[in-house]
C-alpha cells in the first residue's frame, strides 16, 4: 500500500491522489460500457437465445443444462451440505431476517386538522430480481442478504440470477425458499430480469452487487427497471488512531481479495501505526493474489495532520465499509454504507452473520444512501381523507394557493365541494 502524508511537502501529491479516488465512482464503469450495451441490446432484441449464448460464452453453461434450476437440485444441494455450514447459514439467515424485520417501516395515520386524516400504508413491490455474484467466488451469503429482506417486505415473486452457481449457493436458495433461480450472470442476467424474455417476465426492481459489468448493466437498464444502487467492487476505509495493526491489516486484505478493482484505504494521524499496518498488509497480501493486485494498484494509507482532517477525508470518500475506533466517533460519520466500531468488530462479521446487509453502496454513493434494506422492497403509499368539516377548514388555503399558481381548475375542484 502506498503511504502518503496529506500535509507538508507531499500535500499536493496527496490532493491529487484523493481527487483521483473521489472521481473513481463517476468513471469506473466507462471502460466496460460499450461491451455491456451490446449485451443488453442483444438480450432485449433476441431474448432467451441471447441469454443462453452469453451464458455459454462467459460462464460455461453446458448445452444440456437448463437455465432455470430445478427446485429438486436446490433441495439436494441443501441435503448434501455439511452440518457446520447448515448451522452457519441458518444462524446468518435468522439474524438477517430479524434485522430486516426491525427495519420494516410502520403504517400510520395522523390528523393535522379535525376532519382531515393523512397517513401512509406500506406495500411490497410485485417482483424483484436478486443478483448473486458468482464470477470469482460463489457468494451464497449474498443470496441470503438479498432474498430475505425481500421476503420480510412481502414481495411475491423473487427471482435469483447467479452465474455457474455452486452447491453452497443452491443450498442457500433452498434454505430461503427460492423457487425461481436462473444460472445466468453478468450483464445478460441484468437485461433478462429488466426486460423479460419469452420464458421470464420482467421484474420491478433489480438488487444485488456485482462486478463492473453487472454494475454498468444495472445503470444502463435503470431507465426502464428499478435498481437498488451501484454496489460494485468492494471498498474499505479504516479510520483509526488506536486500532491494532494486525486487525486493521487483515480487514484491508479481506475486503481487497474480492476483486482486483477493490479499494482499500487506511486513514490515521498515527505515523507509527501507519507504518506497521503497511508492513503487515504487505506480508498478508503476499499469499493472496487478488488482494495483492488491488493493494498494489490503489491501496493507500493517508497520514493526516489532525483527527478532524482524517474525519473530513473519510466523509469525502463515503466508503462502502468504514471502521472507526469508538462509539463516540459515530458522531462525525456522515457518509458511509455500513460502520464497524472498535478492534473487535471485523468487517467480515458483517459480510456473513451479524444481520445488517452486506449489499452496500460503492463509488461514493454512500453520500446518498446506506445499504440494501427492506425499504428497497416496499413502497410507502400516502393516503388522505377529508370530511366536509376538514375540507371547510383547509379548502380555502388550497384555493388560495391554486389561484396564486393560476390553476383555476384546481381551485374549482375544491370550491364546488365547499358550496352548502
Ligand X SMILES: NC(=O)c1ccc[n+]([C@@H]2O[C@H](COP(=O)([O-])OP(=O)(O)OC[C@H]3O[C@@H](n4cnc5c(N)ncnc54)[C@H](O)[C@@H]3O)[C@@H](O)[C@H]2O)c1
Ligand Y SMILES: N[C@H](CO)Cc1c[nH]c[nH+]1
Q: So which residues are the catalytic ones?
A: 320-321
Please check if 97 is assigned to a binding site: no
Please check if 397 is assigned to a binding site: no
Q: Which is nearer to Zn ion, 159 or 359 (CB)?
A: 359
Among 47, 124, 129, 209, the residue binding ligand X under the rule CB under 6 A is 209
Q: Is the dihedral of CA 30, 35, 39, 42 positive or negative?
A: positive
Alpha-carbon 246 to chain mean position: 28
Among 6, 28, 29, 141, the residue binding ligand Y under the rule CB under 6 A is 141
Please check if 405 is assigned to a binding site: yes
Distance between start and end Cα atoms, the chain: 78
Alpha-carbon span 285 to 265, nearest angstrom: 14
Alpha-carbon span 205 to 175, nearest angstrom: 23
In terms of Cα–Cα distance, which of 132, 230, 125 is closest to 181? 132
Alpha-carbon span 400 to 417, nearest angstrom: 15
Q: Which is nearer to ligand Y, 200 or 255 (CB)?
A: 255
Binding mask 215-254 for ligand X (x = CB under 6 A): ----------------xxxx--------------------
* 147 touches ligand Y by CB under 6 A: no
Task: Scan residues 90-119 and list those touching ligand X (CB under 6 A).
Answer: none
**C-beta of residue 290 within 8 angstroms of C-beta of residue 257:** yes
* 35 touches ligand X by CB under 6 A: yes
Burial per residue of 278-310, b for 16 or more beta-carbon CB atoms within 10 angstroms, e otherwise: bebbbebbeeeebbbbbbeebbbbbbbeebeeb
Mark the segment that binds ligand X (CB under 6 A) among 17-25, 358-366, 390-398, 399-407. Answer: 358-366
Task: Scan residues 17-36 and list those touching ligand Y (CB under 6 A).
Answer: none
Q: Which is nearer to Zn ion, 207 or 291 (CB)?
A: 291
* 350 touches ligand X by CB under 6 A: no
Q: Which is nearer to Zn ion, 361 or 390 (CB)?
A: 361
- The partner in contact with residue 100, picked from Zn ion, ligand X, ligand Y, none with C-beta cut-offs of 5 to 8 angstroms by kind, is none
Please check if 211 is assigned to a binding site: yes
Shortest Å, Cβ 70 to ligand X: 21
- The partner in contact with residue 239, picked from ligand Y, Zn ion, ligand X, none with C-beta cut-offs of 5 to 8 angstroms by kind, is none
Binding mask 118-157 for ligand X (x = CB under 6 A): ---------------xxxxx-x--x---------------
Task: Scan residues 349-378 and list those touching Zn ion (CB under 5 A).
Answer: 351
Task: Scan residues 241-280 and list those touching ligand Y (CB under 6 A).
Answer: 255
Alpha-carbon span 328 to 278, nearest angstrom: 26
- The partner in contact with residue 141, picked from Zn ion, ligand X, ligand Y, none with C-beta cut-offs of 5 to 8 angstroms by kind, is ligand Y
CA angle 411, 414, 418 (to 5 degrees): 125
C-alpha cell belonging to residue 229: 444502487
Mark the segment that binds ligand Y (CB under 6 A) among 137-145, 148-156, 244-252, 374-382. Answer: 137-145
Total number of residues binding Zn ion (CB under 5 A)?
1
**DSSP letter assigned to residue 68:** B
Using CB atoms within 10 Å of the CB of residue 200, give its burial: 0 to 12 exposed, 13 to 18 middle, 19+ buried: buried
**C-beta of residue 174 within 8 angstroms of C-beta of residue 75:** yes
Q: How many CB atoms lie within 10 A of CB 70?
A: 10
Alpha-carbon span 170 to 181, nearest angstrom: 9
Shortest Å, Cβ 308 to ligand Y: 28
Total number of residues binding ligand X (CB under 6 A)?
32
Shortest Å, Cβ 297 to ligand Y: 17
Q: Which is nearer to Zn ion, 43 or 291 (CB)?
A: 291
* 360 touches ligand X by CB under 6 A: yes
Q: What is the DSSP string of 262-301?
A: -EEEEEES-HHHHHHHHHHHHHHHTT-HHHHHHHHHH-EE
Using CB atoms within 10 Å of the CB of residue 33, give its burial: 0 to 12 exposed, 13 to 18 middle, 19+ buried: middle
Q: How many CB atoms lie within 10 A of CB 349?
A: 14
* Residue bearing cell 441490446: 41
Report the interface residues with ligand X, using CB under 6 A.
35, 58-59, 133-137, 139, 142, 163, 185-187, 209-211, 213-214, 231-234, 258-259, 261-262, 320, 358-360, 362
Report the interface residues with ligand Y, using CB under 6 A.
139, 141-142, 234, 255, 320, 351, 358, 360
Report the interface residues with Zn ion, using CB under 5 A.
351
Amino acid at each position: 500500500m502506498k503511504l502518503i502524508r496529506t500535509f507538508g511537502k507531499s500535500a499536493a501529491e496527496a490532493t491529487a491522489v484523493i481527487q483521483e479516488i473521489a472521481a473513481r465512482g463517476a468513471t469506473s464503469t466507462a471502460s466496460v460500457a460499450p461491451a455491456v450495451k451490446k449485451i443488453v441490446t442483444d438480450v432485449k432484441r433476441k431474448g432467451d437465445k441471447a441469454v443462453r449464448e452469453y451464458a455459454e460464452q462467459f460462464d460455461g453453461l453446458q448445452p444440456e443444462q437448463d437455465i432455470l434450476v430445478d427446485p429438486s437440485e436446490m433441495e439436494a444441494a441443501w441435503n448434501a451440505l455439511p452440518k457446520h455450514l447448515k448451522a452457519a447459514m441458518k444462524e446468518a439467515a435468522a439474524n438477517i431476517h430479524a434485522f430486516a424485520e426491525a427495519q420494516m417501516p410502520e403504517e400510520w395515520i395522523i390528523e393535522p386538522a379535525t376532519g382531515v386524516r393523512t397517513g401512509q400504508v406500506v406495500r411490497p413491490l410485485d417482483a424483484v430480481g436478486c443478483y448473486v455474484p458468482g464470477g470469482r467466488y460463489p457468494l451464497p451469503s449474498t443470496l441470503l442478504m438479498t432474498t430475505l429482506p425481500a421476503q420480510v417486505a412481502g414481495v411475491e415473486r423473487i427471482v435469483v440470477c447467479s452465474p455457474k452457481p455452486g452447491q453452497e449457493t443452491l443450498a442457500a436458495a433452498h434454505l430461503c425458499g427460492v423457487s425461481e433461480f436462473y444460472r445466468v450472470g453478468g450483464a445478460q442476467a441484468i437485461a433478462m430480469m429488466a426486460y423479460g424474455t419469452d420464458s421470464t417476465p420482467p421484474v420491478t426492481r433489480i438488487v444485488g452487487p456485482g462486478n463492473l459489468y453487472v454494475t454498468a448493466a444495472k445503470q444502463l437498464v435503470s431507465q426502464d427497471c428499478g435498481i437498488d444502487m451501484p454496489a460494485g467492487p468492494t471498498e474499505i476505509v479504516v479510520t483509526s488512531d488506536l486500532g491494532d495493526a494486525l486487525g486493521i491489516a487483515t480487514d484491508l486484505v479481506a475486503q481487497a481479495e474480492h476483486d482486483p478493482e477493490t479499494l482499500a484505504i487506511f486513514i490515521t494521524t498515527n505515523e507509527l501505526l501507519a507504518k506497521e499496518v503497511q508492513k503487515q498488509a504487505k506480508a498478508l497480501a503476499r499469499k493472496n493474489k487478488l488482494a495483492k493486485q488491488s493493494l498494489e494498484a490503489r491501496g493507500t494509507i493517508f497520514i493526516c495532520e489532525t483527527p478532524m482532517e482524517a474525519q473530513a477525508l473519510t466523509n469525502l470518500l463515503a466508503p462502502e465499509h468504514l471502521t472507526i475506533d469508538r462509539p463516540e466517533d459515530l458522531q462525525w460519520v456522515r457518509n458511509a454504507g455500513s460502520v464497524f466500531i472498535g478492534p473487535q468488530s471485523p468487517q467480515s462479521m458483517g459480510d456473513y452473520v451479524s444481520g445488517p446487509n452486506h449489499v452496500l453502496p460503492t463509488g461514493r454513493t454512500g453520500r446518498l444512501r446506506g445499504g440494501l434494506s427492506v425499504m428497497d422492497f416496499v413502497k410507502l403509499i400516502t393516503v388522505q381523507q377529508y370530511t366536509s368539516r376538514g375540507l371547510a377548514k383547509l379548502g380555502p388555503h388550497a384555493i388560495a394557493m391554486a389561484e396564486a399558481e393560476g390553476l383555476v381548475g384546481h381551485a374549482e375542484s375544491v370550491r364546488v365541494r365547499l358550496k352548502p
